[in-house]
A and B are shown apart, each in its own frame.
Chain A
Amino acid sequence: MTIQREFSNRSKQLCDDALIEMYRSMVTIRQFEDEIQRCFLKGMMQGTTHLCQGQEAVSVGAMKTLRDDDYITCTYRGHGQCLARGMPIDRTFLEILGRKGGVCQGKGGSMHLTDFSRGLLGSFAIVGAGLPVAVGAGLSAQLRGDGQVSMTFFGDGSTNIGAFHEALNLAAVWQLPVVFVCENNLYGEYSPLRATTTVDDLAVRAAAYDLPGYVVDGNDVLAVYDAIGDAVDRARRGLGATLVECKTYRHSGHSRTDPATYREQAEVDAWLARDPIARLRSELVEREILTIAQSEAIGSELLANMQEVSHAAGEAPWPDEKVMREDVLV
């Protein structure tokens, strides 16, 4: 089985409002991550965080393909997926700051954002751990027979851990409605992909399990929507799982303390030139769906809101101590 690089053109059917909504969602994620970074610099935020600036198209394109009753797992780099799925910005911010009112009551944090009301089954901070769980959710969907799909996000580095292979094999052998979305941002922590992996296209690994492997430009939100849309379609029709590799890049370092000096400036510049938000904006302007002025207005409107959310979160009280003793067992 070879890698597939061409997909249906379902994005052509997206109406203007839907496209503008996707644009807003990507800008929201970018601003959210930028604001979290500022909170770090201001000392408002503790611990660690793994931001996804530059990878917004994967989250937004993928979520647009899902139904409300579908399941999702993501990783510690999961703010984008959670926001794109509709996790409320304010409660997400509160959680990341460890404040009262956070989605997980301050017991999860940046790396463990979870929102069952939206099918966000969890963010996993152990590399690869979310994949088997998503397979279980896929089995649940198959047993129930309501056409639900389970989608799991993970990085390029995660394709070298056993859980990835066990999950792909299980999904394949049981023909489960699972969509494996690999965000290949070319680095696992500080290691370039090629130092840890012998292939450039991770989608080839699907062939070992007789699953389709897709490669798509992860910085083109509409291409992501097309490719993942095809994978979701297959899953819903009972045809089984797909591995979709989205080629992308993180603009910042691995985590907040990483200046990412191990990357060549030329490489960084080349990827910055492929910024997914700028690309969608150009396309929408070109297609006369949005004017530059309108896009700027969207940016300022969302930014004002983000700053308000951030300010409110910074002022919010800490959780009550009693919550730390709750939810160990039912």
Chain B
Amino acid sequence: MGVCMTATLVETSYREAIGMALAEEMRRDSTVILMGEDVADAGGVFKATLGLKDEFGAARVRDTPISEMGFVGAGLGLAITGYRPVVELMFADFIGVCYDQIANQIAKYRYMSGGQTAVPMVIRAVGGAGLRFGAQHSQTCETWLLANPGLKIVCPSSPKEAYGMIKAAVRDDNPVLVLEHKGLYGNRGEFECGEEGLVDLKNPALVRPGKDMTIVASLAMVGRCLKACDIVAEKGIEPEVIDMRVLRPMDVSPIVASVRRTNRLITVEEGPRVGGWGAEVAAQITDEAFDDLDSPPLRITLPDHPMPFSAPLEDAVLPSAEGIAETIVALHEGG
């Protein structure tokens, strides 16, 4: 697990940050139960839950059959009867087979009961492209559940965010969908651990201050945008980068504040253009800060086709730091 640098500062991978957060929350609260395919004995296919069964036992760290509808629904049953389940979907793409439980049951449960119960439940789903996993194992699924009031949807882009978001999600009395990115699992980073490290599951976060334009990105795209900023820095361009981070409930106020200063907006997401969250952000910014915009909001997205398997094709589909940098320069020069 993580290497402690000072009393509270640690340096770990994204993967380890997830495991640390889960272990700490399970130690703190005996009602936290982990379930998923191969999460116990094998420690998860991406090894985020390694060692948890040894520490917490088979009752609390449970391998499930391959039954996403069954065990996500069972998670709901646990959540409304006194436990705090954390359910892992091995690949976010499998949301498709338990969509009913998430969209119709979990998201609406509290509401339809007239507030009789809370639904303190976490669903961790591992998504994202770049590992040559093909069309059914590479989606971030960020927008699949975006249109469902009653859910929180968060997207950790770094070890720090993964740690703080998962801890906060476990403590949240609402159902929280944590969309992790498998391409980030090996990334390392420093963060404050313990209570200081909790992330408020409320709004987007500023990750790089700037003045020439506002770039809003999520998951793996945050890192690529930061790289793009390094590239354009040589040309003297200073974009501001915001990590979208919390897709639902969506709070664009930090983006509005930023655009009021920078007067330009680019959204960057690892998902298709139509129905993407970038479209929603662009619409809300247009509503709230139209007069501050010097040019129409610009969206960088995946093209409108499934993810191809072949390495150069997949690379061509994903927005690269260089490609994002070109867009930044063009927008800067165009205005």
**Per-position contact with B for A111-143: 1 when CB-CB < 8 Å, else 0?**
010111000011010100101111111111101
Please tell me if the beta carbons of B110 and A327 are within 8 angstroms of each other in the complex. yes
Q: Mark B94-113, 1 if CB is under 8 A from A, else 0.
A: 00000011001100011111
- Bound-state CA distance A207–B306 (Å) is 41
Known: A143-B59, A170-B65, A330-B174. A136 touches B77 (CB 8 A): yes
- Contact B81–A71 (Cβ < 8 Å): yes
For the complex, is B15 an interface residue (Cβ under 8 Å from A)?
no
The answer to whether A107 and B70 touch (CB under 8 A), given A140-B77, A330-B174, is no
In the bound complex, CA of A135 to CA of B117 (Å) = 18
Is B114 among interface residues, defined by CB-CB distance under 8 A?
A: yes
A175 contacts chain B at the CB level, 8 A cutoff: no
B111 touches A328 (CB 8 A): yes
Closest chain B residue, CB of each to CB of A137? B77
| Chain A minimum-CB-distance residue to B118 | A330
* Other-chain residue from A114, A132, A141, A329 in contact with B174 (beta carbon distance below 8 A): A329
Residue A162 is within 8 A (CB to CB) of chain B in the complex? yes
> Which A residues touch B173, using CB under 8 A?
330
Chain B, interface size category, equals: 35 or more
A133 to B150 alpha-carbon distance, docked (Å): 18
Instruction: State whether the Cβ of A105 lies closer than 8 Å to any Cβ in chain B.
Output: yes
Query: In this assembly, does A144 line the interface, its C-beta being within 8 Å of a C-beta of chain B?
Result: yes
Contact A126 B104 (CB under 8 A): yes
Question: Are A163 and B73 neighbours in the complex by a CB distance under 8 Å?
Answer: yes
**Who on chain A is nearest to B117 by CB?**
A116
Asked whether, in the complex, the Cβ of B114 is within 8 Å of the Cβ of A132, the reply is: no
- Of all chain A residues, the one with the shortest Cβ separation from B68 is A166
A176 to chain B, nearest CB (A): 9
CA distance A292 to B78 in the complex (A): 47
User: Which chain A residues (134-181) contact chain B, with CB distance < 8 Å?
Assistant: 134-141, 143-144, 150, 162-163, 166-167, 169-170, 173-174
Contact B105 A129 (CB under 8 A): yes
* Pairwise interchain contact B152-A133, C-beta atoms closer than 8 A: no
Asked if residues A134 and B77 are in contact (CB atoms below 8 Å), the reply is: yes
Q: How far is the CA of A285 from the CA of B73 in the complex (A)?
A: 45
Given the interface contacts A104-B113, A170-B70, A328-B110, does A136 sit within 8 Å of B75 by beta carbon?
Answer: yes
Q: Does B83 contact A (CB under 8 A)?
A: yes
A135 lies within 8 A of B112 (CB): no
| Per-residue interface assignment for chain B, residues 51 to 72, with 1 indicating a CB less than 8 Å from any chain A CB and 0 otherwise | 0000000010010110101111
For B118, list chain A residues within 8 Å (CB): 330
| A135 contact set on B, CB distance < 8 A | 70, 73-74, 77
A108 at the interface (CB under 8 A from B): yes
Question: Which of A103, A114, A132 is B69 in contact with, Cβ under 8 Å?
Answer: A132
> Which residues of A sit under 8 angstroms from B112, Cβ to Cβ?
104, 107-108, 112, 114, 122
B71 neighbours in A (Cβ, 8 Å):
132, 166, 170
Tell me if B109 and A329 are in contact (CB < 8 A): no
Q: Which residues between 195 and 215 of chain B lie within 8 Å of chain A, taking CB atoms?
A: none
23 A-B pairs whose Cβ atoms sit less than 8 Å apart in the complex: A108-B113, A112-B112, A114-B116, A116-B116, A121-B81, A129-B105, A132-B69, A132-B72, A132-B101, A133-B77, A133-B105, A136-B73, A136-B75, A136-B76, A137-B80, A139-B77, A141-B81, A143-B33, A166-B65, A170-B65, A328-B111, A328-B149, A330-B110
Q: Interface residues, chain B, CB within 8 Å of chain A?
A: 33, 59, 62, 64-65, 67, 69-83, 85, 100-101, 104-105, 109-118, 149-150, 152, 172-174, 249
In the complex, besides A132-B74, A135-B73, A330-B172, 7 extra interface pairs with C-beta distance below 8 angstroms are A114-B116, A121-B81, A126-B105, A133-B77, A140-B83, A170-B64, A170-B65
A residues contacting B by CB (< 8 A) are 71, 102-108, 112, 114-116, 121-122, 124, 126, 129, 131-141, 143-144, 150, 162-163, 166-167, 169-170, 173-174, 323, 326-330
